Chains A and B, each alone.
Chain A
Amino acid sequence: MDSDLPLSTAPSLPSVEEEAVALGRESILARLRERIVAFAASRYAGAHAEDLAQEVLVVIHEKYGHLHRLEDLVPLAFQILRFKLAAHRRKAYRHGDVDAVDVDTFPPASDAPDPAAVLERKELLARLLGGIAHLGERCRELFRLKLQGRTFAEIQQTLGAATLNTVYTWDHRCRKQLLEALGGSWDQPVGRGAP
């Protein structure tokens, strides 16, 4: 060790807490990667599932390096993955080239709403309005209370349910009914044209 080197220039060691946070984040991202690859492979990406997962993680590393919590990273991953998948599908159908490299960035550079996303949301809303017409009275009331911003505990009191788990069960069944009314998928199947 050179004695002329001032002690103040020595790099500081990470604290235990920072190490724990970093390990936690890495663990979360590792598990996220596995899930993303499996999801993308089962949906539309096919051979590009690994690339897609890598793109999602790159975005999280570069733009959201300050996030460490599970509650922040996981929903963020959902949004980025959905965005990347949609871009991948549009490019594949537009060019007919499944090997095209996806160069879209997340979030979009422009603040203007993506026209395709706006149209998809409009169609989903129309389908939802049609689907909730088929729900029973309790499911409609439950959905209405959720949209009003009530928590499950508040909904339990409003509906007079015996336990919180009862409300969870009702909600789960109503969600399945709504999904069936929408044809089994929240998203419109691609390629069927206008609904």
Chain B
Amino acid sequence: MNRAEAEKLLGGHATGTLTEAERSLLFAAALDHQELFDALTDQEGLRELLAEPAARAQLLAALAPAVPKVVPFWRRPGLLAAVASLLVGTTAGLVYLRSPEAGRVPALQEAPKAAPKAVEAPPAPPAPAREKGPGRPATRQQEVPPPLAQAAAPAPAAAADLASRPLALKSEAAPSRLEAAPSRMAGGAVASAPPPAAMKAKKDAQEVDQMAQQNQTKVAPSLRIRAFSGLTGASDPRALRRELEGQLLTPALAAALADLPAGTTLELKVDATGKVLTATFDRSFPGAARVQALLVAWRLRTWTGGLAGSLELTLGWDL
């Protein structure tokens, strides 16, 4: 076997892949060719490492086919913000549509039209009720005129019902008040006894608006890296900075960093694989220990080159 062919067996020797025959050929060629002997000796450390089961297992785990990472929905800030906006908008819209204010405008428009007609219409329905007494509801029901035939009649009947409701509380109501109720309605005194449900709905809508404004106020300040330096080896500093800024905005970390004073410096020590070994702040603040515990679990995807290093970040808030 010539040297070029024997060189192709070098990789197999380091991983213990060679058969007995291949090993013999390789070693025989190594005794005759110095370059081959040197290459075999240089990779002896690699061969010893790959002979360790633990090291093999770690490398096999790193070489395993990548499983598509499914990011849970609670870790997607954009999606959460869109869903939250949709919910707030839908809730506000429903509250507005269901509030009496939305339905009160058509009612106000109809009442002035109905009131003159009620004044002009002959008081036929109330008269029979007067003759037979207010305590006989069966009579009142029989005397309600068909609504399609007479447009003015339902208005007085409705006005009479409306007028009778508050007056039902006062049993000594005089008959003359029944006649005055339509004119009182025409006077626009509809708001004399506004229903409590309408007030409550209006108050709820106002609270929703206030909450939305407060949420906007809470989301506005975001953590930013003001200054960035360190020993990054062969890694691209811009990609590293982008990744770090993204990590700082994750919900858990953002919540823990809520009390971080602006201008705080964070020092990260990183090993050759990008794993954060230590995280140190130059000042203390509430939640610092929790932040450090979260940071030490990081492995920076954009850390390349196989060299350890360190990063110094000066953090601040964007208003």
Contacts and interface: CB of A to CB of B under 8 A. Distances in A.
Nearest to B309: A195
A133 B272 CA distance: 12
A79 B44 contact: yes
Interface in B1-43: 5, 7-12, 14-20, 22-24, 27-28, 30-32, 34, 37-38, 40-43
A81 to B, nearest CB: 6
Contacts, number: 142
A39 B15 CA distance: 22
Interface string A111-131: 000000000110111111111
Given A79-B44, A171-B11, A187-B42, A130 B305 contact: yes
Given A70-B27, A152-B17, A195-B308, A121 B40 contact: no
Given A39-B37, A128-B59, A130-B272, A186 B11 contact: no
Interface in A76-117: 78-79, 81-82
Contacts of A129: 58-59, 62, 272-273, 306
Contacts of B32: 31
B306 A182 contact: yes
Contacts of B46: 124, 128, 186
Given A132-B59, A195-B307, A78 B8 contact: no
Contact of B19 (A124, A151, A174, A186): A151
A124 B50 CA distance: 10
B67 interface: no
Nearest to B54: A125
Contacts of A194: 308
B309 to A, nearest CB: 9
Nearest to B22: A152
B258 to A, nearest CB: 35
B60 interface: yes
Describe B's contact surface by its main secondary structure: helix
Interface string A136-150: 000011011011111
Contacts of B307: 195
Contacts of B45: 82, 120-121, 124, 186-187
B183 interface: no
Q: What range describes how many residues of B lie at the interface?
A: 35 or more
A18 B87 CA distance: 91
Interface in A1-57: 28, 31-32, 35, 38-39, 42
B304 interface: yes
A39 B41 contact: yes
Nearest to B21: A71
Nearest to B61: A129
Contacts of A63: none
B177 interface: no
A130 B15 contact: no
A164 to B, nearest CB: 10
A150 B9 CA distance: 14
Residue of B45, B48, B305, B306 contacting most chain A CB atoms (<10 Å): B306
A172 interface: yes
A64 interface: no
A121 to B, nearest CB: 5
Given A127-B272, A143-B63, A172-B11, A186 B42 contact: yes
Interface string B294-308: 000000000011111
B49 A121 contact: yes
Given A121-B48, A129-B59, A151-B17, A35 B305 contact: no
B204 interface: no
B273 A74 contact: no
Contacts of A131: 306
Contact of B41 (A81, A132, A150, A182): A81
Residue of B27, B49, B56, B58 contacting most chain A CB atoms (<10 Å): B27
What are the 6 A-B residue pairs with the smallest beta carbon separation, nearest first?
A130-B306, A168-B8, A175-B11, A146-B15, A74-B27, A144-B63
Interface of B: 5, 7-12, 14-20, 22-24, 27-28, 30-32, 34, 37-38, 40-46, 48-50, 52, 55-56, 58-60, 62-64, 271-273, 304-308
18 contacts: A31-B32, A35-B30, A38-B34, A42-B38, A71-B20, A74-B27, A74-B30, A78-B40, A124-B46, A125-B55, A126-B272, A129-B273, A130-B304, A140-B63, A147-B50, A152-B19, A165-B8, A171-B8
